[in-house]
Amino acid sequence: MKILVTGGGGFLGSAVCRKLASKGHEVKTFQRRPATHLESFGIHSTEGDITDPDALLAAAEGCDAIVHTAAKAGIWGSPETYRRINVGGTANVIAACSEHGISILVHTSSPSVVHAGGDIEGGDESLPLAKHFSAPYPETKAEAERLVAAANSNELKTTALRPHLIWGPGDPHILPRLVEKAKGGTLALPAPDKMIDTIFVENAALAHVKALEELASGARCAGKAYFITNNEPMPQGEIIGKLLAALGVEVKIRAVPAGIASTAGAVCETLWKTFSLKGEPPVTRFSVEQLATAHWFDASAAERDFGYTPTVSIAEALSILSRQGL
């Protein structure tokens, strides 16, 4: 198949592209900057903005499928920007599928779309989308997921995947933030004993390829959303400690009351809004909400419906991270 990967030059998108190319697919990327690091895999890079429908239409012409990984992630930022990219960009992808008769769409969503503020322990796909959100990222990802589900039809088979806390060599998000926060040798967490799921980037990419292959040959996953994890939940403090250790960072993890952390998040948000401070606040209510609760999932539906099982264990992934670094 000829497949367009939006955000293909990014962390997850690059891994998806490499896996698709290794299976003999013709792959092209669509992102704002050239993805020259993928040229050696025979992958063609197309530059453009996901919010530009004409550029996306041109890139998608002749394709059989789209894997939509492009998104604005983060804990802070303008709600309008998140909506323009995550919701508007997804609407543009669906419109391109319709215009060109593209029959397969795999969309990268997030488990945060179901997080209502409390613990999630062994949660499965019966969990409803949350009604209220503490940040624009999960809110707009939920809106985008609704669009993808509504677009599913006989002409366009869609599925949404919810990979949880993707990490690995080249990670531009989670690992650099952890390293930065651990510089002083101590890392404060509101709930270091709460269990969480994570996923190694190569396993997340594998899940996208498996879902695409299922949509191409059947329809068991069409119109549905799936949690994607490494199937190895661990206490938050333990996995963070292991990740930092793999990067050669020694840190002592200590607990801080969730109430104090939440108050600090609210204060930081107020300061950043009031004084238009640059960058992200060191803590927000959303980040505390994530850090103060358990969130691990039953990913058996992904195995049942499109054959996803992790091929790289956390122990193996940590070894890879230790060798390759960021």
Task: Work out the number of other CB atoms within 10 angstroms of the CB of residue 276.
Answer: 6
Whether residue 323 is contained in a domain is answered as no
Whether residue 174 is contained in a domain is answered as no
Number of separate domains in the chain: 1
For residue 48, name the pLDDT band (cuts at 50, 70, 90). Answer: very high
- pLDDT exceeds cutoff 90 at 282: no
Exactly one of 82, 137, 226, 308 is catalytic; which is it?
137
| CA neighbor of 290 nearest in space, from 313, 262, 250, 268 | 262
- Check if the beta carbon of residue 196 is closer than 8 Å to that of residue 229: no
- pLDDT exceeds cutoff 90 at 112: yes
The answer for residues whose C-beta is within 8 angstroms of residue 304's C-beta and 6 or more apart is: none
The confidence score (pLDDT) of residue 119 equals 97
Whether residue 67 is contained in a domain is answered as yes
Determine the average pLDDT of the residues in 62-85. Answer: 96
Cα–Cα distance, 315 to 313 (Å, whole number): 5
The confidence score (pLDDT) of residue 83 equals 98
Determine the average pLDDT of the residues in 121-148. Answer: 97
For the entire predicted model, the pTM comes to: 0.96
Task: Please state whether beta strands 234-235 and 166-167 pair in parallel, antiparallel, or not at all (unpaired).
Answer: unpaired
Determine the average pLDDT of the residues in 149-174. Answer: 97
Whether residue 160 is contained in a domain is answered as yes
Cα–Cα distance, 323 to 316 (Å, whole number): 11
Whether residue 188 is contained in a domain is answered as no
Task: Please state whether beta strands 166-167 and 120-123 pair in parallel, antiparallel, or not at all (unpaired).
Answer: unpaired
CATH number at residue 146: 3.40.50.720
- pLDDT exceeds cutoff 90 at 148: yes
Q: What is the pLDDT of residues 202-256, one digit of tens each?
A: 999 999 999 999 999 988 999 999 999 999 999 999 999 999 999 999 999 999 9
Q: Which of 178-182, 255-259, 278-282 ranks highest by mean pLDDT? A: 178-182
Whether residue 236 is contained in a domain is answered as no
Active site annotation includes 137 = yes
Whether residue 235 is contained in a domain is answered as no
The confidence score (pLDDT) of residue 114 equals 98
The confidence score (pLDDT) of residue 258 equals 84
Please give, one letter per residue, the 3-state secondary structure of the chain: CEEEEECCCCHHHHHHHHHHHHCCCEEEEEECCCCHHHHHHCCEEEECCCCCHHHHHHHHCCCCEEEECCCCCCCCCCHHHHHHHHHHHHHHHHHHHHHHCCCEEEEECCHHHHCCCCCEEEECCCCCCCCCCCCHHHHHHHHHHHHHHHHCCCCCEEEEEEECCEECCCCCCHHHHHHHHCCCCEEEECCCCCEECCEEHHHHHHHHHHHHHHHHHCCCCCCEEEEECCCCCEEHHHHHHHHHHHCCCCCEEEECCHHHHHHHHHHHHHHHHHHCCCCCCCCCHHHHHHHCCCEEECCHHHHHHHCCCCCCCHHHHHHHHHHHCC
- Check if the beta carbon of residue 42 is closer than 8 Å to that of residue 78: no
Quickly tell me which residue has 């419109």 as its tokens: 95
Q: How many Å separate Cα 261 from the centre of its chain? A: 25
Domain residue limits at 48: 2-166+198-230+295-311
Whether residue 6 is contained in a domain is answered as yes
Determine the average pLDDT of the residues in 307-322. Answer: 98
**What percent of the chain is modeled with pLDDT above 90?**
88
